Amino acid sequence: MIQYTINNSPIGKLLVAQSNKGLTHIIFEYQIPQFKFIINKKYPGEKTLRDDKALYNTVQQLNEYFSGNRRSFTINLDLAMPPFYQKVLMTVKKIPYGKTISYQEVAKRSGRPKAVRAAGSANAKNPLPIVIPCHRVLATGGGIGGYGGGLKIKNYLLKLEGAF
């Protein structure tokens, strides 16, 4: 069973979902209408149930982050991804609050320095934005790069953390 809730945040509504193992998804507002499809893609056949109480701790930590009172998260994660993608996302998770690194550096720290595009793909498929702070990864040339939530949200998060 996948439990979910919808949280209002400064960047719009966020759908937050978890399995019995941990957090599975944070879905931006524009993707919420497709959330069952998104979840079923990784967890086929799982039923979804809205349960605001079950996700209270996660929502509280997200709210603390947006209010500037939290710099890291203490949430169990359930990442259903290929091993290299998981390794990349665990590398991204270690980027300190308010700091940024390049996709090239992420690939290097993930043990495959020539796999810059694969590192970028892993980042693009990050199901847990904000908790796994892919907004802290910039293009190798120093540009902002892309972001699943859109560049306006990426800029907001970087400014919130004082990185820009």
Active centre residues (catalytic): 134
Q: What angle do CA 125, 123, 154 make, to 5 degrees?
A: 100
Q: Which amino acid is at 151?
A: L
CA–CA separation, 156 vs 154, rounded Å?
A: 5
Helices (H), 9-55: 35-42
- Dihedral in degrees, nearest 10, Cα atoms 92, 96, 101, 106: -30
